[in-house]
Amino acid sequence: MSKTALLLVDIQNDYFPGGDWELHAMEQAAENAASLLAAAREAGQMVVHIRHENPSAEAPFFRPGSRGAEIHSAVAPTADEPILTKARPNSFLDTGLSDLLQEAGIEALTLCGAMSQMCIDATARAGRDLGFDITLAEDACAARAMAFGGVELSAQQVHAAFMAPLAMSYARVVSTAELLKN
């Protein structure tokens, strides 16, 4: 069995057009994630789906039991693929993910999903700190425009601002096409 697992993080309905927290280019990111998912399944790699659920019915998105909190159909899990639910950006925190991966002999993770500036960043850093080799399919991730200190950042700028430091020391950051060549 492969020592690499594909981790699909928060590819959920609320991030898509018409959802409660739409991200820039989420449909394209999901299309790339679906390509990675098909390749991982074909290669017999472990696939883990992570879904975020906010603990409050008043949350702006991913409310418990809502359609928006469901995994998007583009990357629908099969019956044998684990689905872990988290309440914080770090996919390893209080989910059992680390134990699941270690029990399967996983040494490396390929990450994709959303949001680049929250859950992808937190999960990549935590995974690396736990000793996993991390590969991040940057174009299978999506971000949202933000502002801080009077500075407005486009979703593309936010995405780049998070991919650059991750590429420095936490992950191999590549395109989906580059990953699929291997």
Catalytic annotation present for 141: no
Choose among 89, 55, 56, 73: nearest CA to 19: 73
Distance of alpha carbon 160 from alpha carbon 166, whole angstroms: 10
Report the candidate in 92, 83, 144, 97 with the shortest Cα–Cα distance to residue 117.
144
Q: Give all strands (DSSP E) within the chain, no chain letters.
A: 4-9, 46-52, 83-86, 108-114, 133-142, 146-148, 151-153, 172-174
d(CA 30, CA 9): 11
Interhelix angle 155-169/121-129, rounded to 10 degrees, is 10
- Active-site residue identified among 8, 46, 109, 119: 119
Distance CA 115, CA 123 (A): 11
Catalytic residue positions, numbered: 119
